[in-house]
Amino acid sequence: MPSPSRLRAPFRTAFHALIGLLYPERCQLCLANHARPTDGLVCADCRASVIPIRPPACERCGLPFQGALTNGFTCPNCHDLVPAYTRARSAVHAKGSARDAIHLYKYHRAYWLEPFFSDVWVPLAVHDLGSERWDGIVPVPLHPVREREREFNQAERLGRLLGSALHIPVRKDLVIRSEATSTQTRLSRDERARNVRRAFAPVAGLSIPNTRWIVVDDVLTTGSTTDAVARVLRSAGAEEVVVWTVARGV
Ligand SMILES: [Zn+2]
Ligand SMILES: [Zn+2]
């Protein structure tokens, strides 16, 4: 059977739909092993290959490091450009089956993967956030044009998984995406930060003093996107903003 990741996008969607019909209980990542819908159709082998983020990591942005580091370490990026969020954390590395799952979810509306994200992500986030008071979750907004193309915003759906576990609302009515940023992967960190900061704005008249928010996205890479959203919330008066993403690209 061909590896689904080698297929072009439209074929891949059709391929997965067909596989789902032919083998309803097959892992949708490796297409080899048995998997149950209650496990997000991700088999035990694919789950075992997910790499959790472990310390040591930058105290601010959560960037993991090799080797032993003392407590209170902040990475050079966070020294150069102090983020608007207090801390950013992710559950797993954006590699292998975690990366494939996010890709499938985001570009092919693979909602059936949500039990998998709930398992690998939500308990860690709840462990980190559960003892504090939060006013709600702010999913990183997609530009309306892109949301129409994609037919959903993955950050918003992931935010709902976490919001229901924490019993807090998901607020997509605070920050708007005023510009669709082009693909960011080829840009330097500074270019990316500059580009992305222009892309988000508060809704007219937003004033949210003494509030605390969790910004949610699927993947954090340089952190410039989530930082831009945090900056909007802070400039509208938010007392604290933290970031939680499923995966961390390094
Ligand atoms: Zn599998
Ligand atoms: Zn850092």
**Ligand 2 geometric centre to CA of 128 (Å):** 18
**Residue 69 lies inside a defined structural domain of this protein:** yes
**Residue 85 lies inside a defined structural domain of this protein:** yes
CA 216 – CA 7 distance, rounded (Å): 29
Confidence of residue 10 (pLDDT cuts 50, 70, 90): low
Confidence of residue 185 (pLDDT cuts 50, 70, 90): low
Q: How many CB atoms lie within 10 A of CB 59?
A: 17
Confidence of residue 183 (pLDDT cuts 50, 70, 90): low
Residues 9-26 have a mean pLDDT of 69
Residues 81-108 have a mean pLDDT of 95
Quote the domain boundaries for residue 126.
Answer: 53-91+122-248
Peptide bond into 52 cis (omega under 30): no
Q: What pLDDT score does 207 carry?
A: 98
Identity of residue 102:
I
Ligand nearest to the CA of 82: 2
pLDDT in tens, 111-151: 999 999 999 999 999 999 999 999 999 999 999 888 988 88
The CATH number assigned to the domain holding 190 equals 3.40.50.2020
**Ligand 1 geometric centre to CA of 59 (Å):** 33
Q: What pLDDT score does 176 carry?
A: 95
**Residue 76 lies inside a defined structural domain of this protein:** yes
Ligand nearest to the CA of 36: 1
**Residue 169 lies inside a defined structural domain of this protein:** yes
**Residue 112 lies inside a defined structural domain of this protein:** no
Residue 184: pLDDT over 70: no
Q: How many separate domains does the chain show?
A: 1
Q: What pLDDT score does 73 carry?
A: 84
- The residues placing their C-beta within 5 Å of ligand 1, an ion, are 27, 29-30, 33, 43, 46
**Residue 47 lies inside a defined structural domain of this protein:** no
